[in-house]
Chains A and B, each alone.
Chain A
């Protein structure tokens, strides 16, 4: 039975604490397995060599669904977990991960999740990851996710990752090896406030002919927070890639955006764009002419930007 603190955090990171019966499930609370459920096509197995799980999605699975939320409630608890996904050929699956830290103490709570995706031929994955922190304690809430993706021929993955709020420090790292005709789309959204710090680095290698990659980063840095984006994309053959980083900066925040693209083949086509700026006064004014206060207008603009 999950307690109220855990279900509250699950509601934030998974939009529910009552997961559909048809979905495979693994809930991890303070380093322990709290609940697990397999389905006909999806098997979750505890690792024997290190902390973590292997998730096997059978070839040809249709409308597969996996939830693997992680919750930390003990102040000072530090957790490192390895989750490996094996997605069979032609499978279609939605994977909802996410981590929430509830820290009401004075010690640092930290979760480092290392996810590796082996996506088989023509398989399709939608990966959703939300990070969130809460609690009245002075102890820090730290989340350091690492995601490693291997896409075989014709495979695709769309990664929607977001850091909602309350995470004091994060170092994200994503790498992808994109095979022939495969595609990766990464949509990353980060909100920092107070004195928080977020760093996001990526290495995307377009290694197969006809491979594609799109990285779309949207972030809002408020108060005295700071963010650094360093997405690097390599085109090693005929391929297409697009990196787009947009940030809204507010108060005394700092944002560095350093998109890097490198072509190692004459047929590689890579584009990057980056923009950092405050909310334009004319945007606030427009919404005020529609009856919102300046504060409500700002909130609406940020809500849309990070949606």
Chain B
């Protein structure tokens, strides 16, 4: 189980110190598929980075599989089965897609296995396996390779940050099938930050984050209609239409 207890995180902004995560508590059961959604700037990516250890909280606790991981490094968390797919994956001059997938899997993986992960994210494996992970890849291609690295880790907790961003409709369909399969087979706890209705609809539960707090959390059947009914709240122009 992933348990987050009274987590706080602030950052310095031009306007001064700003609370990004505000006393947030949360539990996600093992092998559940949770989607985190909410308005831009609400703290979703920061929460994901805090879970991975890329940011250090001001206070609060993160407990994974009964172990307090709050003080552990990114590497230590990765070795405990936490993985994180970046919203904007970095590029590497000289490292190939094959290199990256082998690093991700933590073993000598043969090309056939490597290609299977690329196929799962809608990429024609033969065209990509030997390509450099550099700027010659489009945003959507890099994003799909990023997701493939998480799949190759076979970690128990997979966190994806807006996996749909930059991905074309056809590849996105393949991707939703992959998430659906992981969820159905109960292969991992899936935490996906997303604004995409089709992904949200696939989840077991939805966590709505706004202003660094949880605005709503519950089963998809309960939360999804509420979100859909609130999409134009606060926009006077849209409300007037």
Chain A residues in the interface with B (C-beta under 8 A): 218, 246, 280, 282-283, 285-294, 300-301, 303-307
Contact = CB atoms under 8 A, between A and B. Distances in A.
Given A289-B83, A300-B95, A304-B95, A294 B90 contact: no
Interface in B76-106: 78-79, 83-84, 86, 89-90, 92-96, 99-100, 103-104, 106
Given A286-B89, A286-B90, A291-B103, 16 more contacts: A282-B86, A282-B90, A283-B90, A285-B74, A288-B73, A288-B74, A289-B52, A290-B83, A290-B100, A290-B153, A291-B153, A293-B75, A300-B95, A304-B99, A305-B92, A307-B94
Contacts of A293: 75
B84 A289 contact: yes
Contacts of A289: 52, 54, 74, 78, 83-84
9 contacts: A283-B90, A283-B92, A290-B78, A290-B104, A291-B153, A304-B92, A304-B94, A305-B93, A307-B94
Given A285-B54, A286-B86, A291 B75 contact: yes
Nearest to B77: A289
Nearest to A294: B75
Given A292-B75, A293-B75, A287 B93 contact: no
B103 to A, nearest CB: 5
Among A282, A286, A287, A307, residue most surrounded by chain B Cβ atoms (within 10 Å): A286
B149 interface: yes
Interface in B38-78: 52, 54, 73-75, 78
Interface residues on B, range: 20 to 34
B106 A218 contact: no
Contacts of B74: 285, 288-289
A292 B103 contact: yes
A177 B93 CA distance: 30
Contacts of B83: 289-290
Interface SS of chain A: helix, strand, loop or mixed?
helix
A-B pairs, top 10 by smallest CB distance, nearest first, are A304-B94, A304-B95, A288-B74, A291-B78, A305-B94, A282-B90, A290-B104, A283-B90, A288-B75, A289-B84
Given A285-B54, A285-B74, A304-B99, A290 B149 contact: yes
Contacts of A307: 94
Contacts of B93: 218, 246, 304-305
Which one of A280, A300, A303 has the highest number of Cβ atoms from chain B below 10 Å of its Cβ? Answer: A300
A270 B103 CA distance: 38
A287 to B, nearest CB: 6
The listed residue with most A CB atoms (<10 A of its CB), out of B52, B100, B103, B149, is B103
Given A301-B95, A307-B94, A287 B84 contact: no
A276 to B, nearest CB: 13
Contacts of B75: 288, 291-294
Contacts of A282: 86, 90
Nearest to B100: A290
Contacts of B84: 289
Contacts of B54: 285, 289
